[in-house]
Every structure is written in structure tokens, then in C-alpha cells.
Structure 1
Amino acid sequence: MNILITSTARRIDFVNFFKDAFKEIGIDGKIIVADPEHNAPSLQAGDESYVIPHQTDPKYMDAIYEICKKHSVQCLVPLNDWEVPKLSEHKEELEQLGVSVFTPNADLVDQVRDKGKYRELLKPFDVNAPRSYISLNDAEEGLKNNEVSFPLIVKPRNGSASMGVEIAHDIEELRFAHQHAVQLIKESPLDDATYKKPEENIIIQDVIEGEKFSLDIFNDLDGNFLTSFIRKQLDMRGGDVDRCITVNTPELLDIAQKMGENLGHIGYMNADVYYDGSDYYVIDINPRFGGGYAFSHIAGANIPAAIIALTDDGKVKNSWLTQRDGVELARHDVVVQIDELEEQNIF
């Protein structure tokens, strides 16, 4: 079995998780890694490694098809927010090549990447999301009507890695933050990730203050809920969790299961949840394998093994779907030498 992992970037640990899973299950296979940056550290860890175009490049999908055909790829796992919409749009073509694609379907990807509609999406199964406004005028009207009060958070509706997120404490800051976010979208890949105009791709929300949690939700290839992992975030660095502790809080496990069962996504989904002391609020949903999974893996989970099994014979061990409670974990940096690849570029 050959597995393609895309946008691997710095995630050598993910590549090794899949290699170790092959050994544990006793299946022969290769881990093929692909990234648009020729000096991405993870390219040094793959059994086969490719430099491919960015997801905004018209040749991106051509590169994916070429790799899948050349190596008879049976499983594709993306690690980047911005490539998921494109891969989801082309799932049918990939599946015709015999590839199991671990991404949600395109319509659900559009829904979860639109932070402005989380209340509408989650309310039917009793999961909370912050009050949101999708225009500056609506937010100002909400302030006048005392629906909300400062501080307010301004961010892109389909943002990633905390890009363009600002807190406003008064009306002048709110207007400036909104203008700044619009300009940022125009100058970033976010402008290519949606059909919306930059001015329509901003949300203004209540600021939920309190404890922050990561929820990882994993479904099988038919969209059936399998498991979830919860981590309390203790420290952040560059938009990623740097230190956390695993928790198996019943209320959070219930939220994760409700989301997995009702959204019915395929593969992995990650959500950020805040607890304000009385209620839990989902503030972000990412339709891909989150970087924070590595913490749960060290705490006993083994989703790469489950992915391989689902692609192979469908027999998933319960031991792969659990993490130990109360394990505190932290990231650390390693250094890898960048050697020139034999096949630098798929084209």
C-alpha cells in the first residue's frame, strides 16, 4: 500500500507515525510526501518525495494525479487547510484511480470553512458558537442595539493559522481592524480559497474568554463517527499549540461526538473550543488532520494505523482510538539536513 501525504512541511513526525503504523500492522508500503517548498524538512523523511505546485497553481491537481498514477497510491491524507477544498472537489476523479481520500466532501468543506455560519451549522444538534456578524454595518448595529459589546474579534471567515485575527476595544479599532483584514485577504492565498469578495470574507464576533481546548474528530470513509481526542491548550506559538494536556472531559467528548455524527465528514476534523466558565463555544473548525494530533499520538492514539486499516480491510482496533487522560506534552525542535532530492519537482 502506498500513501500520499500532502503539504507535509515541517511534520516529519507525521511521516514517521505512518511508517511506524505500517510496521505495527505488518503491511508493506511507501509513504510518499509532497510539498510546494523544495526545502521542506519533511521531504527528507519520505520513502518518495516530491516538490509540487501550490494549491493555487492550475497544475496542482495534475501533480497529484501524476503521483497517484505513478505510485498506485491507495490513500491520500492532506495536512493543509487551503488544499482541502481543491482535493475535495476532485475526490471522484481520485477515487476512480483507486485512491481513498481522507477529506470531507466539498459541500461540507465549504460549510466548516465559513466561520460566519457556525451558529446555523451547529445549533440543530445543540452545539454553541459565538454570535457573528458578516458585515461591519451589522456589527455596528448590533453594538447600538446592545446585542454585543466590546471587545470584539475580527478575522477572515475562511482563515487559517490565526492569520488576520485582531481584537477591537472600541469603534475606531473595529473599523481599522476590518479594513486591515480586507487588505490582508487581498494579498494572501485566502483570496483564492473562496468565491467571496474580500469585503464579504470578514466576520466580527463576540470574544469568548476562558479555557481553550482542541477537539479532534475522526470518522471512517463512510462518515461514521469513530473517536475523538480532547486536549487543553496550555501554550501557543505561531498559531500552533506548543504545550497541552490530554483530557477526557465528558461534556467535550459529547460535543465532539455530536459534531462527528451530525456532520458526517470523512476522515479527520479539528475544532477549537472555548469554555467561558458556563458554556463551551466552537470558534474554529479545520477539515483536515490537525498538527495537534501529534500530542494525542504520544498519549496512546494511533490514527495513522486506523487510516491504513480503513483503506485496507476496514478492521480498526479500539486501542488505536483512545488516548491516556492527564498527559502533559510539549513540542520541541529538531534539525534535519536538507539534501537535494533525486526528483526535485513532479514537473
Structure 2
Amino acid sequence: MYNVLVTSIGAKFPLLSALKSALYVLGEKAKLFGADANPACLGRYGVDAFWAMPPLASCTAQTFISYCKDQGIGAIIPTRDEDVHFFARHKAAFEGANIALFCAPLQAVEACQDKLFFASTHPLAIPASTDITTLDASRFVVKERFGAGGRAMLLNATKTEALDFGKTLSSPLFQPFIEGEEFSVDGYVNGKEGWVGGVARARLHVKHGEAKLTAYVDAPALLEATKTLAQTLHVKGHLVAQFLQNDRGIHLIECNVRFGGASTLSYAMGLRSFEWFFKELLGESYVFVLDTSVTHQLRVEQDVRW
């Protein structure tokens, strides 16, 4: 038995709930520790123990290793892009300290976080350029080249609008604007780079890049595209691929190699990434069984009382 640490917990109660439900694999005494640089974060009420950690920029691998050793923590779940990159960079140090990471290899992390490079990784990926004149389009998308792009993005812009908005970004990236239905695919790849399975979801209502209303869809082509992407990038663990689909086909937007905000629907439908990760650490087997008794998810705030 050992405890688990999840980083940047913010107010991610659905994710914390999913993690708690998986702790049984590690034994009835296993505890969930949560860390955040904000000591007032609401997520501290959703974990067994809370660590007001230093800002990530001032942390070293040893900062986390020392805390984990003191608290009997044997696995870390990063939940934010910056965290994922930090732990991927220091994976060897954590492995040397016998601390497992729910984290893809560094090469896969950096391939997904650099949207210019990512556009070259899959035949379905939407073209991207730092030079708008190289794109054959009349309407454009403008976003940051690195990291999460949902909050700093302009859609369906003219060339002039795109260039003006690009001046407000640190590293602007331009893509042709494509209309279509939005989908996400949650997938899981085991520690030996074996594809376990995936769940495709329609993104019915999106706010700040996160699907507030999502619904299961039977979409073999999207699953196959995600599997190919995972194999190409040598992903391990959980990934979320985003697509557009229209009468011209499927278009790959981006991929996050972490558990996403709406991934809890896929988890409820049988894609039990956290549980499988723990079972792999213990050398236990598992199988993916799709459960379609629940197919929709609405993410809303709710009151919690105790």
C-alpha cells in the first residue's frame, strides 16, 4: 500500500472523485494527497491531506521526492500542462526514488505542447504556421503555439484580424479555420505502449476550451485516428485528442497527454485510467469493458455540505 499525490488540484472535484474511487486497488488505507500553490484552493476539501506546495517554478524534483518520502507517497498524478512537462523532464529522478508518474514520456509531452510540431505528426492534423501567408485560407484561427490554447484564441478571423490578434500573443500560431462538429477521444495506453481502448465524445457545449456538455458517440474512425496518433507519439497513460468533423472528413486539432476536464464521462463508461495505472504498478491485469448505461455528462457547479 502507498499513498497518491495529485498536483494542481484547484477545484477539480470530479477528477478527485474518480481518483478516490480507484484507490481501492492500493489498499483500504491508501490516502489521496492533493497539492496546489494556492493554499486557499477549494480542492483541498476533496482530498485526504493537502499540501500548500511552493510555486512550480521554484520546485525541483527533490522538492517532491522529499515530500513523497515523508508522506509515504508512491505515485504522482499531474493534472496541468505545466505540471506534466515538469514531471516528464524529471521522470528518471522519480523512477530512481521508486515514485511512479501518471505521465507520458517527455518526447510525447513536448510534441503535443508545441502545436506547430504537432501539426506535422498525423496526416489528419490541421496545417499550422507561424507565417500566415503560407496558409491557403480566407478565414483563420490564431492561438498560442505552446501550451493550452483555449483561453487565448481567436476563431474565424480575417487575415487582418488574425495578424492583429497575433500581436497580443507571446508566440502566435495560425491555422485555417474549419467549420465542423467538435469531438474528443479519451484513450489509454498501457506502460508497454499497448493501446487499451478509447471513448469518443461529442463536445456539445464548450467554454474556455472545456466541454461543459459532452455525449458519447460510436465513432470507430475517431478511435482509430487516436490510436494511430498515440502509437506515433509513443504516448503512455491517458490522452485526449480533439477533432473536427465535416463533409470533407476528420480534422485533428490537438492532443493533451493528461486526464481532461470532461474525461470523467469516459471514466464512468469504463475507461478507468487511474484504476488501470494502479493495477499496472501492482502487476495486476485488467480489461476495458465499455458501459453505455450512462452516455451524457453536464458539468455544473453544485453545493457540497458536511
Q: TM-score, normalised by structure 1?
A: 0.81
* Counterpart in the other structure of 1:16: 17
1:63 corresponds to: 63
* Counterpart for residue 211 of structure 1: 181
Q: Which deviations, in whole Å up to 9, do the C-alpha atoms of 1:293-330 show, x marking residues without a partner?
A: 112223343222112111222322333xx342881221
Query: Which residue in the other structure is 2:130 paired with?
Result: 134
Instruction: Report the 3-state secondary structure (helix = DSSP H, G, I; strand = E; otherwise coil) of the residue aligned with 2:199.
Output: strand
Alpha-carbon spacing, 1:326–1:258, altered in 2? closer, same or farther (3 Å): farther
Structure 2 residue aligned with 1:195: none
> Equivalences for 1:185-334 in 2 at 5 Å?
201-319=171-289, 322-324=290-292, 327-334=295-302
Shift of 1:59: 2.3
- SS across alignment from 1:254: helix
Letter in 2 for 1:10: A
1:179 equivalent to 2:148? Answer no
Show CA shifts across 1:116-170 (max 9, x none): 12232123xxxx11121123xxx22x3xxxx512210111111315122013633
Q: For the residues of structure 2 that align with 1:25 and 1:101, how far apart are their CA atoms?
A: 15
- Partner amino acid for 1:217? G
Q: How many residues are aligned here?
A: 305
Offset of 1:336 from its aligned partner? 4.8
Determine which of 133, 151, 158 is the counterpart of 1:170. 158
Deviation for aligned residue 1:218: 1.1
Match of 2:145 among 137, 157, 160: 157
Higher relative contact order (CA 8 A, sep 6+): 1
Give, in whole Å, the separation in 2 of the partners of 1:36 and 1:154.
Answer: 30
Question: 2:113·2:148 contact (CA, 8 Å) conserved in 1?
Answer: no
Residue 91 of structure 1, CA deviation:
0.4
In 2, the alpha carbon distance for the partners of 1:107 and 1:262 equals 11
Task: Calculate the aligned-residue CA RMSD, in Å.
Answer: 2.2
Look up the match of 2:42.
41
SS at match of 1:221: coil
Structure 2, unmatched stretches of 5+, are none
Q: 165-174 or 305-314: which moved more? A: 165-174
Structure 2 CA distance, aligned partners of 1:203 and 1:90?
28
Cα distance in 2 between the residues matched to 1:270 and 1:74? 25
Please list, as runs of the form range in 1=range in 2, the aligned pairs for 1:75-154 lying within 5 A after superposition.
75-123=75-123, 128-135=124-131, 139-140=132-133, 142=134, 147-154=135-142
1:165-218 deviations in whole A, cap 9, x for unaligned? 013633321221110123xxxxxxxxxxxxxxxxxx321001121110011121
Give the alignment's TM-score, normalised by structure 2.
0.92
Tell me the percent identity: 19
- Structure 1: unaligned runs, 5 residues or longer: 183-200, 339-347
Q: Relative to 1, partners in 2 of residues 1:64 and 1:282: Cα closer, same or farther, differing over 3 Å? A: same
SS in 2 for 1:19: helix
SS at match of 1:181: coil
Q: Deviations over 1:211-240 (max 9, x none)?
A: 100111211123222121211010012321
